[in-house]
Amino acid sequence: REAKIDEMQTDITDYLVQLTGKQLTVSQAEIIPLLMHCTNDSERIGDHADIMFNLVKRLNSSGKKLSEDAVLELKHVWKLLCFQAQHILLYLENPVEENAKAALKKGKKLVNFSHNFEKNHIKRLNKGKCEVRSGIVYIELLTEFDRISNHLTNIAERMPEIQKHYSNLIVQK
């Protein structure tokens, strides 16, 4: 899937670059870089998902396990990430500003929880409730969740501007 995502990014970017060589309205010209950035963010999300897949594979092949607390914390971060992604998709379907705001809010919440969970992990390590090797994977997974959330946040921040240009394009037709 990662190779397919990379291929799609290349195709979309190539198309957008071709458009820049055409005679464009102001809105058309201004929306292209925004779409390129969103395309790049989307591709990076695929990269981070691939890294997470490999981390879980590495954990499973090592025979090590995450503590129950770590699993619950990762599930919590996953729910926040899903909520953030869903609200971005909702915004694409129905560009109500509240959807973009909700996505941004969940992104901030995710980062806060992630930092708190990292502190919890250090406490578990100090108390011997967690194995070092699986703990490293846990921290790396949290980092990847943060990175995905950052890319989703980038997209959510650009969405109102994209919508403004899109609305201008519809009016111009």
| Average pLDDT, integer, range 62-86 | 94
Q: Across all residues in the chain, what is the average pLDDT?
A: 91
Q: Cβ(140)–Cβ(55) under 8 Å?
A: yes
Residue 170's pLDDT band (cuts 50, 70, 90)? low
Three-state secondary structure of the chain: CHHHHHHHHHHHHHHHHHHHCCCCCHHHHHHHHHHHHHHHHHHHHHHHHHHHHHHHHHHHHHCCCCCHHHHHHHHHHHHHHHHHHHHHHHHHHCCCHHHHHHHHHHHHHHHHHHHHHHHHHHHHHHHCCCCHHHHHHHHHHHHHHHHHHHHHHHHHHHHHHHHHHHHHHHHHC
119 has pLDDT over 90: yes
Is a pLDDT exceeding 70 seen at residue 169? Answer: no
Confidence bin at 92 (pLDDT 50/70/90) = confident
Return the pLDDT at 60. 92
Q: Which two tokens stand for residue 101?
A: 């705001």
pLDDT at residue 173 is higher than 60: no
Q: Please, are residues 110 and 80 in contact by the beta-carbon 8 Å criterion?
A: yes
pLDDT tens string 141-163: 999 999 999 999 999 999 888 88
**Is residue 167 over pLDDT 80?**
no
Read off the pLDDT of residues 20-68 as tens digits, 9 standing for 90 and up: 999 998 888 999 999 999 999 999 999 999 999 999 999 999 988 899 9
